[in-house]
Amino acid sequence: MTRNSKEMRHVYRDFLKEANNTHKDLLVLEADLSSSMSTNSLAADFGKRYVNLGIMEAQMIGLAAGLSVKGFHPYVHTFGPFASRRVFDQLFISLGYARLKATIIGSDAGVTAEMNGGTHMPFEELGLIRLIPNTTLYEVSDDIQFEAVLKETLDLEGLSYIRTTRKSPKPVYKGHEDFKKGYISLRQGQDIVVVASGIMVAEASEVVDRLAEEGFKVGLIDLFRIKPLPDGLRDELKGKIIVTIENHNRIGGIGSAICELMGDDADTRVHRMGIDESFGQVGKVDYLLQYYGLSQSAISKKIRELIE
């Protein structure tokens, strides 16, 4: 892949600016992170439908619920830990229980929080959001996929949540892909399949490509819609050795979701790679992936152990 990816925050900003031309029910809510997410320039386009509440995340979700009652579609952004664990009760009751429409963007997913450190480094939000009934949950892997998912949320009912980084991810897609079914099979394998999400898709893809050069046939699936799990995924995984790889706690994320999906199939084995009983810390992405056992060398080692 040779193209340069667009920063995810610019994808979000440009999507809202364009969607505002045809969807006058959209609202943009921020909690003192408008410059970090590049949405500050949207105030001129949205007028009173753009609100920066300051550092009041719970109040932001409450406001989103009230405005949803009035027929608006709020797009709400803050860093992942503040979009999920800090406001979990408001998400669950004010939006989920009330069956109201809102799209939440939780940025700086997992180790991509980098220098913001442990308090800002979320390893748990997939598990939390999966617990809210009738929620649609995504983790996007690159800019092209993020734009497609954002467009999909325009027509979704209820609460949806998108887990993303803010900056430029490694590119995965070229722009001609169809993301409607909720997952993409990037490479076909025989007896072992890697299921990854978010930034781990590009990392796993590089490993799988190198293994293919050595004659190993390892499949790779980008599972970007984590709830509801896509139709057809169970049949694709049935009877396989599966390795799930996620920039998230091993509990509650895609590894847990796949175990729940395939738990009654005695011929399927699931091996989970993710954050294991750890909090976040300050560091660059490459260092953190190495520290938490999610580097390309760790992925390759795990797959080789299962193949050989």
Structure confidence by residue, pLDDT tens digits, 85-136: 999 999 999 999 999 999 999 999 999 999 999 999 999 999 999 999 999 9
Amino acid of residue 18: E
> Looking at residue 308, what is its pLDDT?
77
> Looking at residue 257, what is its pLDDT?
98
Written as six digits, the tokens of 174 are 């070229």
Written as six digits, the tokens of 129 are 């959001």
Phi, psi of 44 (to 5 degrees): -65, -35
> Looking at residue 191, what is its pLDDT?
76
Per the CB < 8 A criterion, the answer to whether 222 and 141 are in contact is: yes
Residue 284: count other Cβ atoms within 10 Å of its Cβ. Answer: 11
Tokens 């952004």 map to which residue? Answer: 77
Query: For the chain, which domains are there?
Result: 8-163 (3.40.50.970), 184-307 (3.40.50.920)
Per the CB < 8 A criterion, the answer to whether 144 and 173 are in contact is: yes
> Looking at residue 1, what is its pLDDT?
47
Could you read off the pLDDT tens digit of each residue along the chain, which spans 308 residues?
A: 478 899 999 999 999 999 999 999 999 999 999 999 999 999 999 999 999 999 999 999 999 999 999 999 999 999 999 999 999 999 999 999 999 999 999 999 999 999 999 999 999 999 999 999 999 999 999 999 999 999 999 999 999 999 999 999 999 999 999 999 999 999 999 879 999 999 999 999 999 999 999 999 999 999 999 999 999 999 999 999 999 999 999 999 999 999 999 999 989 999 999 999 999 999 999 999 999 999 999 999 999 999 87
Per the CB < 8 A criterion, the answer to whether 60 and 85 are in contact is: no
> Looking at residue 245, what is its pLDDT?
98
Residue 277 gets the label, from left (phi > 0), alpha (psi -120 to 50) or beta, of left
Distance, in Å, from the CA atom of 215 to the CA atom of 217, rounded to the nearest integer, reads 6
Amino acid of residue 197: S
Written as six digits, the tokens of 64 are 């989103």
> Looking at residue 13, what is its pLDDT?
98
Q: What is 259-275 written as a DSSP string?
A: HHHHTT-TT-EEEEEEE
